[in-house]
Structure 1
């Protein structure tokens, strides 16, 4: 297990950023999250099972920013696991246009993700669902026991408060993202069945943490001006999260972009020049992987990009970050080790620019918990 106190990468003042600690604790927090879910399994199953028995149930995965991207990563996987309709709807969309996203007569389970649990949109989304949906229940997954979401109680709600360590102190969400993603995946796929999977995932995360920081730190010094993250299926949401991490931690100093593997050719590929890094998250699914490999081969044959990096659980030629131990795993399991190099690259890109990763925004115009949001009454 990585030693969190060994050879820390420091900011200008010599202090180890909380962001780095929180990246490096993810194997630990993933195991702790599984242990917490096992302890609460009886109560969770008692709440979820009757809802899943409803054939018309709609599950809505909601959050803001990184918490919204959890839904993008998981929606299709959870729909397959539950046999129910699962939609990823950011609270930022739901609050601004509730008539488009809330269905009054459809039985709904609103799954709310929140690191702090205090984002105005997260609270407003629950209130809107209560007011507009006749049959609505709430599963709340949060990292902050003292947040507004954690205080939601009632027969129509179940609150999962994750281990305190997941309540990231750094500006950018890292271990909070992986822990909340894991919690939802396990809850809807079967908590007990995730025991062995959890350990394999945690070991893969440990290996990536131990093996890749030096490479990501070196990559961050290569002077890229644009970085593109690509992925199919659950990795399209992960690509969006990776792009946001880099944008946040470099205070907008790098142009970032995300897209699906096949969608990238349809115009967005014009972003590629000799100062562009392209990172592709490769699927384990044979069909999906074939499309991923085609695009990587094309980008490398073009000889335009500054670098093309594949993140893969299986062997591939060329510049590759190899994730060991999950060669036959479901793509949903790969979300956790795959995000680590993107987090580390963002951390070191921040440090390379002389920024403080825990508070990278020098102008103070963005904050760890969003401010400045006015919740308007409907019809306003």
Structure 2
């Protein structure tokens, strides 16, 4: 199946992405704000990339759906302020992205950067500069390695903008670590095969909230399962009321959140929920299931290492339910208005 192959070979693609970014030169951004934008998976990518970029560079950022750039421009763009718009699209042909870039074209205060897996497209032509990841060519409808590689490319871009050799060297190790993570393709299979769990909740905070939203979308796309995502500690403020024995919660833990994560897990378990924790946790961390990730990469840069487990969970659940992950219901690879 294309989806499985594209999940399992993404470490190789990450190595190429590193080489692409390592050989690119970028002008130093002199703007008031950097806006990251996309649709669907690419918008969730934008959400994580924006928070990561701000943490690395100290520049003010935000993430917005591409459609809002042309539908509600005045709520996002302030006249006379300088912006960099980072537009993200796997295909480079997503209607809303192209409409947004065309809508903003000609504004002397706005520069644009396209991040895409398809350089020869209207999106790339409309942007001032392009990060081309043409080596990432997915046949599947759902985005897997394209999400990981475009996010990784933007993290490398942030390190270059900040002149941060420490972050760049940290990120240089990511492809090898992802390759190791992919050797355990059954790390989430027990939960994927458990049909007593009919409701899934994904939790992540900070720049990892975009990953939680993307994991939710992957499960919805491949399996039509009822699932939601929240910022981790926000889950207690109302949504936790739906937890029962049919609920599986997947928590993306970080070194800086682990002390709070343990108490949250216990609260969910007391209500009957089943909790899978993914992250750099210690052996004494208590949960129903764990996928332990390396602590040799900082929270700031570890995002790509979470993706294999999250993508495999959706794929394996689809197979268990008898769905074809390569042909999800009601979806096409590109959405055009």
Aligned to 1:4: none
Question: Judging changes above 3 Å, is the alpha-carbon distance between structure 1 residues 328 and 214 closer, same or farther for their aligned structure 2 residues?
Answer: closer
Which of the numbers 326, 340, 344 marks the counterpart of 2:312? 344
The answer as to whether partners of 2:201 and 2:247 remain within 8 angstroms in 1 is yes
Alpha-carbon deviation of 1:195?
5.2
The 5 A counterparts of 1:163-182 are: 163-164=134-135, 166-182=136-152
Whole-angstrom distance in 2 between the partners of 1:81 and 1:351? 39
Whole-angstrom distance in 1 between the partners of 2:137 and 2:70? 24
Alpha-carbon deviation of 1:185?
1.0
Aligned to 2:15: 31
With the length of structure 1 as denominator, give the TM-score of the two structures: 0.82
Alpha-carbon deviation of 1:328?
4.5
The more displaced of 288-297 and 255-264 is 288-297
The more displaced of 71-80 and 233-242 is 71-80
Which of the numbers 111, 116, 137 marks the counterpart of 1:137? 111
Whole-angstrom distance in 1 between the partners of 2:191 and 2:260? 26
Which of the numbers 88, 91, 111 marks the counterpart of 1:113? 88
- Provide runs of 4+ in structure 1 moved above 4 Å: none
> Does 2:158 correspond to 1:188?
yes
Aligned to 2:4: 20
Which of the numbers 284, 295, 299 marks the counterpart of 2:255? 284
User: The residue matched to 1:297 in structure 2 has which SS?
Assistant: helix
Aligned to 2:277: 310
> Does 2:241 correspond to 1:266?
no
The answer as to whether partners of 1:31 and 1:198 remain within 8 angstroms in 2 is no
Alpha-carbon deviation of 1:78?
1.2
Give the RMSD, CA atoms, in angstroms: 1.8
Whole-angstrom distance in 2 between the partners of 1:63 and 1:30? 21
The more displaced of 88-97 and 109-118 is 88-97
Which of the numbers 323, 329, 335 marks the counterpart of 1:355? 323
> Does 2:90 correspond to 1:97?
no
Alpha-carbon deviation of 1:318?
3.1
Aligned to 1:247: 220
The answer as to whether partners of 1:141 and 1:161 remain within 8 angstroms in 2 is yes
Structure 2: give runs of 5+ residues left out of the alignment. Answer: none
Alpha-carbon deviation of 1:74?
2.3
Which of the numbers 187, 207, 228 marks the counterpart of 1:234? 207
Question: Judging changes above 3 Å, is the alpha-carbon distance between structure 1 residues 192 and 25 closer, same or farther for their aligned structure 2 residues?
Answer: farther
User: The residue matched to 1:127 in structure 2 has which SS?
Assistant: helix
User: The residue matched to 1:347 in structure 2 has which SS?
Assistant: helix
Question: Judging changes above 3 Å, is the alpha-carbon distance between structure 1 residues 107 and 199 closer, same or farther for their aligned structure 2 residues?
Answer: closer
Whole-angstrom distance in 1 between the partners of 2:2 and 2:164? 32
Alpha-carbon deviation of 1:358?
1.2
Aligned to 1:298: 267
Alpha-carbon deviation of 1:169?
1.5
User: The residue matched to 1:116 in structure 2 has which SS?
Assistant: coil
Whole-angstrom distance in 2 between the partners of 1:163 and 1:244? 24
The answer as to whether partners of 2:37 and 2:64 remain within 8 angstroms in 1 is yes
Whole-angstrom distance in 1 between the partners of 2:76 and 2:277? 36
Alpha-carbon deviation of 1:244?
0.3
The more displaced of 347-356 and 185-194 is 185-194
Whole-angstrom distance in 1 between the partners of 2:126 and 2:67? 20
Structure 1: give runs of 5+ residues left out of the alignment. Answer: 1-16, 374-380
Aligned to 1:327: 295
Whole-angstrom distance in 1 between the partners of 2:69 and 2:243? 34
Whole-angstrom distance in 1 between the partners of 2:109 and 2:169? 36
